[in-house]
Amino acid sequence: MKTAFGWHLIKLEQVSGGGTASFEEVRDDIEDEIRTEVAEGQIYDLSENLANLAYEQSDSLLPAADQLGLELQTSDWFDRGSGNGIASESRVRRIAFSNDVLNQGVNSEAIELADNRIVFIRLNDRKPAVQKTLVEVRDVIVEYLKQQKGKEDNELAGVQALEDLKNSKSLDDIASEWNAEVVDYGFIGRDNNEVGANLINLAFKMAKPADDVTIDGIAQANGNYSLIELSAVISNDADDDGKRIDGLTSASAGADYQAVLRVLSSRAEVIRTALSELQ
């Protein structure tokens, strides 16, 4: 047997099978299978007849419905993005807004849906797109303005908090005032998945702290404002990295020590040498 992984040899050593079931034992299953096949055949024949009639008299579905004894139904109004009843089906909406149905006014082709459903549609009426009145969109506008005002207020509060942080207040003080939480991520790399990309980009643009921490802030897309306190940077200089690791080790900073190792490993080109070659 050949698969995506190559050729495989399979040895068949034994075959075991059950006994033959009696007709009475499988009668219900056979009847269900036959009914299904007959029903599917009838559906196919009916859909073929409908397709032919809908095509031959493309300006109306009434002749096809009358000849096959089917009832025509009219949907409620719907648009390209949503609808009720049969219009809740995305494929029905797509074909309803096709050039043939919407502009040419002809019957659609057969539309196959789930559960062996087949429908044909045609345009009954249409409403051109119109600008909504102020009354209709008032609530939406009010909600949008509230969100925009909230974002502006948050950004103003964030900028003020950033100034306070640079002057006298601590990050814990501001977090308490905002009823927020200070999150310490330790040392992070550019590929960190726990911190948002915008925060990582800002952190790597911030100046390297000297004697004190470096502070900055950024407005988030969701309207929040985030403050960043950068306390240390792992440099590319090997001696500085060694001193940093020694300092963390002596301070028993296990978590930060491991984080430093991960950052350095991601930057380095690692060459593995067998132990026997080193002896």
Question: What DSSP character marks residue 206?
Answer: S
- 105: which 2 tokens? 């006014």
* Span 66-88, pLDDT tens digits: 887 888 899 999 999 999 999 99
Average pLDDT for the chain: 79
> Does the pLDDT value for residue 178 go beyond 70?
yes
pLDDT digits (tens, 9 = 90+) for 200-246: 888 888 888 877 788 888 888 888 888 888 888 876 554 555 555 55
Domain boundaries, the chain: 25-119, 135-233, 235-279
User: 39 in helix, strand or coil?
Assistant: helix
Q: What is the pLDDT of residue 185?
A: 84
Both tokens of 101, joined, read 């149905």
Q: Which residues contact residue 236 at a Cβ distance below 8 angstroms, ignoring those fewer than 6 apart?
A: 267
Residues 6+ apart with CB under 8 A from 75: 83, 84, 85, 86, 87
- Nearest Cα to Cα of residue 200 among 213, 221, 185, 178: 185
- C-alpha 105/C-alpha 60 separation (Å) is 9
Strands 111-113 and 117-119 come out as: antiparallel
pTM of the model: 0.41
Report the alpha-carbon distance of residue 229 to residue 182 in Å, rounded: 10
> Minimum mean pLDDT among 6-15, 40-49, 54-63, 177-186: which range?
6-15
- For residue 200, the model assigns a pLDDT of 87
Six-digit token string for 137: 């969109």
Residue 95's pLDDT is: 93
115-147 pLDDT tens trace? 778 889 999 999 888 888 888 889 999 999 998
| pLDDT band at residue 42 under the 50/70/90 scheme | confident
Least confident of 45-54, 72-81, 174-183, 259-268: 259-268
* Residue 13 parent element (H or E): none
38 residue type, one letter: V
Which residue stretches of 193-253 are H helix? 197-205, 238-250
Measured between alpha carbons, how far is residue 161 from residues 72, 173, 206, 234, 245 in Å? 66, 10, 18, 27, 33
CA distances from 127 to 34, 97, 104, 121, 131 (A): 47, 12, 16, 17, 12
Per-residue confidence at 250, pLDDT binned at 50, 70, 90?
Answer: low
The answer on pLDDT for 252 being more than 50 is no
